[in-house]
């Protein structure tokens, strides 16, 4: 059961007012959202778990930066994306950060969960490598070099995966 | 530790929340910095010809130069404290006061014989002015960086530069109370240099100070 944007935003607002129960419910609701987000972008479960917890801690420590007048989703996933990019950067410290393209931050919550589930459903029908390559380069906006580094494969490998994956996706849509 | 255990631990601590909303935290940091700079400038004393100078247009232009740039920069800072913020295009508006002052400076330069124009451009204090402004700027910079460390900026360089820009502009505006120069070419060159130094410092040290 996915919490919707409005629920989370109101929980976050209540938490900001000092409602401890609302805060606990908020954090509990956030865990599966973060788990889904990171599972689709990382290879290993241990990585996913680490990042979920790192992000939870960041959500807790940086909660003051959430503006209660705004939706909670974009804030949450911006924190998650920040931790994800940090994770990729730390794996190969000499990759120049300037190469990491920042995706448009105005990812609405619906885009991040609801509407994006359509894309995710389609991507889930591709093989893991193709799906992940497309997510990293087209959705998260990483360069081919960064995606290659993140997956531990060559750049041409990523390009081929993306190309084949997109072709397969298009075939799926045509068939529908 | 399982996710549930971590959630329980964090929930027990409760949400970490300042009394003031984000924008008020930034504004109050800028204001505190401004008040300290003002105190120092008043300690040095206002310019000796103050009672005549404040009636001139150039005096207010000097003040407005810093105030307008600072306003744009502080608004950018407020935006950039949030993790989901995109680099704001409106930051380019900080160049508008420079462009306007440049027009005045060109007019002034052309209206004077070359010796006088040159002398006006350097004034008495060209060598110390930028460094004084940059030094004064360190105070609001410290306050703003302190706030940033509690927030979640995701564009480190840009956030640091905006903090430096805001701080330099605040310092420049207040320095104008003390500074005896009245030439547009002087302000355009040396006040801007001070603001630029402050901006660069903020950008250079941003990652070290605010990375999270």
CA distance A95 to B78: 30
Q: Does A156 touch chain B (CB under 8 A)?
A: no
Q: Which residues lie below 8 Å from residue B39, measured CB to CB, with a gap of 6+?
A: none
Q: What are phi and psi of B45, to 5 degrees?
A: 100, 145
The distance of A86 to chain B (nearest Cα, Å) reads 9
Nearest CA in chain A to B9: A24
Cβ distance of B6 and A56 shorter than 8 Å: yes
CA distance A144 to A133: 9
Reported as a pLDDT band with limits 50, 70 and 90, residue A175 is low
Determine the average pLDDT of the residues in A137-149.
81
CB B11 within 8 A of CB A24: yes
pLDDT tens track for A5-16: 899 999 999 999
Q: Which residues lie below 8 Å from residue A109, measured CB to CB, with a gap of 6+?
A: A5, A8, A71, A72, A73, A74, A77
CB B187 within 8 A of CB B181: yes
| DSSP symbols for A9-20 | HHHHHHHHTT-H
Provide the strand spans (E) within B9-146: none
Q: Does A79 touch chain B (CB under 8 A)?
A: yes
Instruction: Share the mean pLDDT of chain B.
Output: 96
B155: which chain A residues are within 8 Å (Cβ-Cβ)? Answer: 102
A28: which chain B residues are within 8 Å (Cβ-Cβ)? Answer: 7
B9: which chain A residues are within 8 Å (Cβ-Cβ)? Answer: none
Chain-centroid distance, C-alpha B17: 27
CB B57 within 8 A of CB B104: no
Cβ distance of A20 and B11 shorter than 8 Å: yes
A82: which chain B residues are within 8 Å (Cβ-Cβ)? Answer: 83, 152, 154, 212
Residue A106 neighbours by CB distance under 10 Å: 11
- Considering only residues A80 and A111, tell me which one the structure prediction assigns the higher pLDDT: A80
B6: which chain A residues are within 8 Å (Cβ-Cβ)? Answer: 53, 56-57
Compare CB distances from A64 to B3, B7, B150 and report the shortest one's residue. B150
By a Cβ cutoff of 8 Å, what residues of chain B touch chain A? 1, 3, 6-8, 10-11, 13-18, 21-22, 25, 81-86, 150-152, 154-155, 212
Cβ distance of A60 and B150 shorter than 8 Å: no
| DSSP symbols for B10-39 | HHHH-----SS-HHHHHHHHHHHHHHHHHH
B151: which chain A residues are within 8 Å (Cβ-Cβ)? Answer: 62, 64-65
Closest CA to A141 of A85, A60, A77: A85
Nearest CA in chain A to B17: A64
CA distance A151 to B137: 45
CA dihedral A80, A86, A89, A93 (to 10 degrees): -170
CA distance B96 to A68: 33
pLDDT number for residue B62: 95
Cβ distance of B15 and A15 shorter than 8 Å: yes
CA distance B109 to B88: 34
CA distance B73 to B88: 10
Closest CA to B1 of A56, A168, A118: A56
Please state whether the predicted TM-score (pTM) of the whole model is above 0.95. no
pLDDT tens track for A33-82: 999 999 999 888 888 999 999 999 999 999 999 999 899 999 999 999 99
Residue A105 has pLDDT above 80, yes or no: no
pLDDT number for residue A165: 85
pLDDT tens track for B118-172: 999 999 999 999 999 999 999 999 999 999 999 999 999 999 999 999 999 999 9
Q: Does A49 touch chain B (CB under 8 A)?
A: yes
Task: Report H helices in A40-94.
Answer: 45-61, 72-91
A64: which chain B residues are within 8 Å (Cβ-Cβ)? Answer: 16-18, 22, 25, 150-151
CA distance A11 to A160: 44
Size of interface A-B (CB pairs under 8 A): 95
The distance of A154 to chain B (nearest Cα, Å) reads 28
Q: Which of B14, B22, B152 would you mutate first to test chain A, the one with the most A CBs within 10 A?
A: B152
Cβ distance of A82 and B152 shorter than 8 Å: yes
pLDDT number for residue A116: 53
Distances (CA, A) of A99 to A149, B92, B139, B211: 12, 23, 34, 18
């Amino acid at each position: 059961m996915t919490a919707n944007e409005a629920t989370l935003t109101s929980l976050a607002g209540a938490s900001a007012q000092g409602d401890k129960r609302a805060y606990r419910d908020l954090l509990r609701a956030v865990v599966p959202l973060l788990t889904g987000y990171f599972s689709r972008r990382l290879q290993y479960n241990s990585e996913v778990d680490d990042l979920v917890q790192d992000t939870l801690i960041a959500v807790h420590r940086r909660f003051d930066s959430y503006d209660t007048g705004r939706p909670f989703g974009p804030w949450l996933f911006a924190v998650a994306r920040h931790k994800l990019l940090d994770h990729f950067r730390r794996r190969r410290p000499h990759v120049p950060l300037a190469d990491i393209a920042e995706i448009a931050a105005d990812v609405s919550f619906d885009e991040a969960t609801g509407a994006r589930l359509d894309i995710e459903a389609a991507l889930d029908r591709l093989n893991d490598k193709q799906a992940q390559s497309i997510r990293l380069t087209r959705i998260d906006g990483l360069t081919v070099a960064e995606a290659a580094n993140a997956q531990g494969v060559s750049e041409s490998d990523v390009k081929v995966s993306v190309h084949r994956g997109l072709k397969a996706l298009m075939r799926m849509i045509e068939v529908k | 530790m399982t996710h549930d255990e971590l959630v329980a631990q964090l929930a027990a601590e409760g949400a970490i929340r300042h009394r003031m909303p984000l924008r008020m935290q930034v504004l109050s940091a800028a204001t505190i910095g401004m008040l300290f700079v003002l105190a120092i400038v008043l300690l040095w004393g206002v310019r000796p010809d103050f009672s005549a100078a404040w009636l001139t247009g150039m005096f207010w232009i000097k003040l407005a130069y810093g105030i307008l740039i600072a306003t744009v920069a502080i608004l950018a800072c407020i935006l950039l404290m949030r993790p989901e913020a995109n680099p704001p295009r409106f930051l380019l508006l900080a160049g508008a006061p420079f462009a306007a002052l440049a027009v005045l400076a060109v007019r002034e330069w052309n209206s004077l014989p070359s010796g006088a124009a040159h002398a006006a451009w350097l004034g008495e204090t060209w060598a110390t002015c930028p460094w004084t402004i940059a030094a004064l700027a360190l105070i609001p910079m410290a306050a703003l960086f302190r706030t940033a460390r509690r927030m979640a900026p995701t564009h480190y360089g840009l956030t640091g530069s905006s903090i430096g820009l805001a701080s330099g502009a605040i310092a420049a505006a207040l320095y104008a109370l003390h500074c005896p120069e009245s030439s547009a070419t002087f302000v355009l060159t040396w006040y801007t240099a001070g603001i630029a130094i402050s901006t660069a410092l903020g950008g250079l040290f941003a990652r070290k100070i605010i990375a999270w």
